[in-house]
Amino acid sequence: MTMRTVIITDKATGKTVECPVHEGRYGAPVVDLKNLYKDLGVFTFDPGYGSTAACRSGITYLDGEEGVLMHRGYSIEHLAEKSTFLEVAYLLINGELPNQQQFDEWVHVIKMHGMTHEHLSRFYQGFRYDAHPMSMLSSVVASVASYYHNTTDIYNPEHRRLTAQRVIAKMPSLVSKIYRYGSGLPFVYPDNSRNYVENFSYMMFSWPTEPYIANPVAIRALDLLFILHADHEQNASTSTVRLAGSAETNPYACIAAGVATLWGKAHGGANEAVIDMLTEIGDPKNIQKFVDRAKNKDDNFRLMGFGHRVYKNYDPRAKIIRQACHDLLNEMHLNQPLFDIAMELERIALEDDYFISRKLYPNVDFYSGLIYQALNIPTNMFTPMFALARSAGWIAQWMEMLADPDFRIGRPRQLYIGAEKRDYVGIADRK
C-alpha cells in the first residue's frame, strides 16, 4: 500500500520536498515536516501550535467538532457514569482497565504512598498566610523531588511507575495541607480505611474534635469532577510537562511546571474566573446587560466559561457536569444563588445568534466552579483541585513520552523580526 504524501514546492528556488502523511486511529491526518528545513531551508509558522502535532499519543483523543472525548478508547460519558477517578488514573497510566485483583493492588499501593515526609510539612510555613494556593502547590510539588534522589531514574521503567504512583498518591495530601495552612487548621494524616476521594475530603475538612462523616453525594460529585479533569490531550499544561520532561528534568519538577501553567486563568483558572463573573453579575435581571457587553467589540468584558480552544461543539464534559450540578444542589438541599444566574445566563446565551454562530457553548469550567462552591471549597482552591486530578494525566503523558522511540528534547523555532546586525557603540558616543 502506497503511503499518502504531500509535496511542498518553493517557487522561488524550484526545490520540492515530499512529506509523508501519517494516519492516526481518529482525527485529521498529520503531515510529517521534519525534513522541511533540511530540504527546503524553511520552518513552519504556527502561533499557539494550533495546527502542529508535537507527539504521538495513545492516551486521550478529543474531536472538537463532534464534541468527543475518550481516554484509551473509552468515552468520557461511560467513564463518568461507571468508573471512579482512581480506576481512570490506572487506565491512563497502564492503557487498560484493571481487573479486580489489579485494581485492589493499585488501591493498596496508592494508599501505601499517601504519606509525605514530615519535614515537608514545615515547607508550608515559609509562605505568607494568604499566599495563593497555586504558588504554594507549584513550589511544594517541586520540593518533593528532594526526597527521592535514588528512585527517579527516568530511563528505568520501574522507577517511572513508582513515580507515577507517588504523584497520584501524594497530591491529595499536598493540596489539603495548602487549604489547612491557609485556614489555620492542623494538618491531617491520610486515613487508609477511606477511599481516595473520601480520604482527600477527610484531610481537607475534618475537625480535630469531631468524627468526620462524609456525604456520599458530595464525594461522588467530587469524584466525577476528578474524572472529568484527569486528562485532556495536548493542552497548555500537558505540553509544558512534556517539554520540561524532554530536557530529562526531574519528574516532580515537570509536574510543578504543569501546575504553574495550569494557574493561568485562560487554562485551569477559568473556573475561578467564572465564579468571579457570576458574582459580578449579581442577579439574573442583570444578565442581558453583561451579554450585551460581551458582544460589544469595544468592551473588554468576556463571558467566562463559554467556548473552548478545541471544542467547536458542546463540551461533552459540560453536559455531564451540568447534570451533576443539578443533582448535587437538589439532593443536598443547597441554596445556590449563583447557580440560578448561571442557568439563566446559559439559556440566554444559547438562544442568542451571536453565541450560536460562534459556537460559544458552555464548557466544563462553567459548571465545575459551582460544584466546588457547593462543596464549600474556597474559590482560590478551585485550580489546585484541578491540578490534583490532572496530575494523573500529566504523569501518564510523561511516562508515554519517555517510552517513545522518537523522544528528543523539545526545541520550537521562531520567526525573528528584531533589529538587523549592528555595531556596538560606546556609551559616551550614543545619542
Please enumerate in sequence order all residues whose Cβ is within 8 A of that of 130, keeping only pairs 6 or more positions apart, or say none. Answer: 182
Cα gap 103→195, rounded to integer Å: 13
Residue 16's DSSP bridge partners are 9
Is residue 64 classed as helix, strand or coil in its secondary structure?
coil
Q: Check if the beta carbon of residue 396 is closer than 8 Å to that of residue 59.
A: yes
Nearest in space to 358 (alpha carbons), one of 311, 318, 321: 311
Q: What angle do CA 385, 365, 323 make, to 5 degrees?
A: 100
Amino acid at site 422: R
> What sections of 6-66 are H helices per DSSP?
36-40
Instruction: Count Cα neighbours of 281 within 13 Å in the Cβ-side half-sphere.
Output: 31
Cα gap 406→393, rounded to integer Å: 20
Q: Check if the beta carbon of residue 236 is closer than 8 Å to that of residue 310.
A: no
Please enumerate in sequence order all residues whose Cβ is within 8 A of that of 414, keeping only pairs 6 or more positions apart, or say none. Answer: none
First to last CA, the chain: 68
Residue 252's DSSP bridge partners are none
Give the relative orientation of helices 85-94 and 382-402 as an angle to the nearest 10 degrees: 20
Cα gap 34→378, rounded to integer Å: 47
- Read off the C-alpha cell for 99: 481487573
Nearest in space to 344 (alpha carbons), one of 356, 362, 332: 362
Active site residue 119: no
Cα gap 47→55, rounded to integer Å: 17
Cα gap 389→80, rounded to integer Å: 14
Cα gap 413→175, rounded to integer Å: 36
Choose, from 223, 231, 315, 365, the residue flagged as catalytic: 365
Choose, from 308, 315, 406, 423, the residue flagged as catalytic: 308
Place of cell 448535587: 328
Active site residue 308: yes
Q: Check if the beta carbon of residue 148 is closer than 8 Å to that of residue 166.
A: yes
Q: So which residues are the catalytic ones?
A: 308, 365
